[in-house]
Structure 1
Amino acid sequence: LILDGSEVDLDSSAVSVDSNAFTIELKDLKDTSSGMFEPESTIEVQYPVHCINPARDARFESEVIYLANTYPLSNELEVRPAVPIIEALHLRRKFRIGKEVVAIGDLGNYRIVLILENIGDMVLSNLTLMDKVPDNFEYGDYSMTPEITDEVGSDTLKWTIETLEEAEKLEISYEIHGKGKYSPSEAQLAL
């Protein structure tokens, strides 16, 4: 709550949420440090609004009612200001992720191809694609240079993708060389 440009600390008992109603009750303002609501004063209430699983193009319009008592005591005042219509931002991330392992040349040589495809109707941003390589393999010949982190038993290769446009398909490949059979792990995507 901001009164005349200054934030006002509210007691928890002054705020209540009941079903879809959010109420702030300020009592005896003349006896508080913030003082009464004087002519030309402004009051601003800031609170988050979350909509869970909104329908596409959903619009929400809330009703705001200010009820005020005056000093000296007279009839209660009611003010219903114009309120903005809130349009839900519909964020549905749809993607397909895949991994191909192709034996190349001598035994123990493989080409790894990671595939990431945006099958949604919005741009995906700030993605991290990860793949693990066992310690008994060396890797290189990247189509896109990864960040490499060393973990017990394997190394993790991480690629940061800033944006992936609608219907865009990205393939990242690299080669590994080592002894023994390569058992591929699942590629992982972090959003």
Structure 2
Amino acid sequence: MTTDVLLTGFSPFDGAERNESWEAVSRAAPALRERGTRVEVLELPVVFGAAGDALAEAVRSLRPAVVLATGLAAGRTAITPERVAINLRDARIPDEAGASPVDEPVVPGGPVGYFSTLPLKAMVAALAADGVPGAVSQTAGTYVCNDVFYRLQHLLATDPSLAGAGIRGGFVHVPAAAQIEVPVTAAALAGLVEVALRTEVDAVLAGGAEH
């Protein structure tokens, strides 16, 4: 592999002028490169299908050790690695191409869901050690973030061209800048990448939720 990690964020959507996920990725990548990590970045459109297609093309081309996709969760107050991607599209608002799928599968005939293959508990522990709010999230929603997360995990689980590559992938939601400033989020993402690269067996820590 010539790439250690592929980092992705999203372009602005729903009339916003910025998307903190892409801003954080853009800041995290140079910091990681300075430490010797081989990083590629990709800005994804907030469009059902197209975002997953672009990510799949990049993964097949780069064959990174780790894929960490990120997205904005404006209502959250912590950085939240996602545990589960579900095979469902149910849009509250149209995507940037005007599509509003309701109760549709991401991949027809695909499994109900996939778990992240990143060390989520170790990642959250690293956030806590750095004084950054973080938690394991049990839902990535049903919008384009989940769409990309599901497509990524489905690709890694089923694509014959990636068989034996050992690529691990997952998704992290970041809050809006009003909750955690982008430079803090960017530094935290760089730390999460490093944890993912060095941790093969996840920490055994409580990370469940009652609701």
Instruction: Give the TM-score range, shorter chain.
Output: under 0.3
Query: Normalising by structure 1, what TM-score?
Result: 0.23
Query: Normalising by structure 2, what TM-score?
Result: 0.22
Relative to its length, the structure with more strand (as a share) is 1
